[in-house]
Structure 1
Amino acid sequence: MSEIRLHEGELNIMELLWSNKVLAAKDISKIIKEYIGWEKNTTYTVIKRLIDKGAIKREDPGFLCKATVSKRTVQNTETVALLNKFYNGSLSNFFTDFLKNQKLSPGEVLELERIVGEQKL
């Protein structure tokens, strides 16, 4: 499967599916209307786009929707895209910039040291 890039509106629907495993499109529409305010047609358009991208599988009867891509996969794809866009793909440049502006607790520093230590093995 090629990488799937998702925009914020698509991620709203994917979050529902990652949490609930399978939902009928009508139920997705009701939830999205309540929390985001989208009309049914907007939600169905975004669901169709996600089906076309291969991120959702539709099952009948009932227009049941199920994610075909994991949250972890999408997170990894978006992280690489972010690194490429802002840091020329350099993880070390990202961490240097990001960590300069953070107040880390001693526990967070230890956790980062542990993670880096595992990479050395």
Structure 2
Amino acid sequence: MELLWSNKALAARDISKIIKEYIGWEKNTTYTVIKRLIDKGAVTREDPGFICRANITKRKIQEIETKALLNQMYNGSLENFIQSYLANQKLGASELNALQKIISNQGR
């Protein structure tokens, strides 16, 4: 998906070459993953040339994955996640100010 988000559209053969170089997957493995993404509606395929395009934004995926993480690890509670995360962090004044700004903007 990162390839498609950064390139807008790529032929499946080009995706396969790039993935082979960086991850080591064989062509069949990459094509199987592309097919699954198409079946799930995350990628669209255009012919001729088996051109692939992302059908979902990176931001939407981040939202979905964040909700899944909260549900799986923190029983769906943002408060539990924040408490757990902050208990293990040393935040500086600028980070605390940024967090306060984010929180105050939520009330608007």
TM-score of the two chains, using structure 2 as the length reference: 0.97
Q: Does 1:65 align with 2:52?
A: yes
Distance 2:44 2:107 in 1: 40
- Structure 1: 5+ residue stretches without partners: 1-13
1:34 positional shift = 0.5
1:105 positional shift = 2.4
CA RMSD after TM alignment:
0.8
Distance 2:61 2:89 in 1: 25
- Structure 2: 5+ residue stretches without partners: none
Corresponding residue number in structure 1 for 2:25: 38
Corresponding residue number in structure 2 for 1:93: 80
TM-score of the two chains, using structure 1 as the length reference: 0.87
Larger Rg: 2
Which protein has greater RCO, CA pairs closer than 8 Å, 6+ apart?
1
1:92 positional shift = 0.7
Distance 2:5 2:94 in 1: 30
Q: Does 1:16 align with 2:3?
A: yes
Q: Does 1:27 align with 2:14?
A: yes
Picking from 54, 62, 73, the partner of 1:75 is: 62
Corresponding residue number in structure 1 for 2:41: 54
1:52 positional shift = 0.5
**Aligned residues, how many?**
108
